[in-house]
Amino acid sequence: MELDQAAQICLRPGGGFVWLGLFEPSADELALVQQRFGLHDLAVEDAQSFHLRPKVEHYDDGAIYFVVLRTARYVDEREEVEFGEVSVFLSERFVITVRQGAASELHDARQRLERRPELLQEGPGAVLWAILDKVIDDYAPVIEGLERDIEEVESTVFSGAAAPTQRIYFLRREASDFYRAVHPLLGPLEAIERGVYEMIGPKLRPYFRDVNDHLKLVDEEVVAQRDLLAVILQANMAVVSVSQQEIGVRQNEIIKQLTVIAMIFLPLTFVTGFFGQNFGWMVHHIRPLWAFLVYGVGSLLLSGALLLFWFKRRRLV
């Protein structure tokens, strides 16, 4: 359907609405859509941005709602949450979705809604429910992917081995980013349940309540994962500290052993070096066997005995 044709259908009297989907449109394309459907400048500017907080706003005295949702999927190979964004312009006669990022496919949502004609009769609010239901259902695999990786580092740390600190920190950052995509959506969904937005009819509110229950469960899970990762990070730092202390103790023991050996050989080397000097007195007087035993061997044994006595007194051996 051409854009002009879709805009003309919205101007015809009677029921029905148009659902227009855009994927990563350029600024010129969005400007053309804005011109045809009378969208607000601030909403269009937000639709071109990325990494916005989830929110629901209304323009033109509530005639057009602007909804921002954060989509997510877990890439297990990189242990990374990949985020996308869906911006929804909602009025009585049209729904315009602007998708940013790969994690924002809405094909299943459209097919599911087409199989529910009784919901389509409720108007564009049903489209918003289908989009929300799809986006929040896609949060479950993200929770499962994070949970698998958290269990891996948890089993490593609490088995007494140190896990890579960088991996734990990266998982905590991913969980925090996911929390910022999930938690701000709780307020708007609760407002829809209370009937704050007139475009969402009473028949649709139970469906939004079900979506809100799923979102609360996801929010509780991601909060628990963040807290658990904080505990794991602290425990891992304690394990690393203990490992470093054990290495230090082993190094100190090795240095102690080397010091003892050096102290043993130091006096023995002095004695042998002293009597090995080629002085005339030594050459002419230390000739008989008893002199060799007294001066040579005796001095070595005496120094060894003194060292052993000193080591035992100092409790070095």
Distances (CA, A) of 146 to 155, 164, 167, 263: 14, 16, 12, 57
Cα of 317 vs its chain's centroid, Å: 51
Secondary structure of 217-276 in the HEC alphabet?
HHHHHHHHHHHHHHHHHHHHHHHHHHHHHHHHHHHHHHHHHHHHHHHHHHHHHHHHHHHC
Specify the pLDDT at position 275.
Answer: 65
Specify the pLDDT at position 184.
Answer: 92
Specify the pLDDT at position 97.
Answer: 93
Cα of 130 vs its chain's centroid, Å: 28
Locate the domains of the chain by residue range. Answer: 3-244, 253-313
Specify the pLDDT at position 309.
Answer: 75
CATH, domain range 3-244: 3.30.460.20
Specify the pLDDT at position 222.
Answer: 94
Specify the pLDDT at position 168.
Answer: 85
- Angle 158-160-164 from CA coordinates, rounded to 5°: 80
Q: What is the mean pLDDT of each run of 10 residues along the chain (317 residues)?
A: 82 82 89 90 87 84 88 87 92 90 80 87 90 92 91 79 76 91 92 86 90 94 91 77 71 76 71 68 65 68 75 69
Here the tokens at position 206 are 């139970």
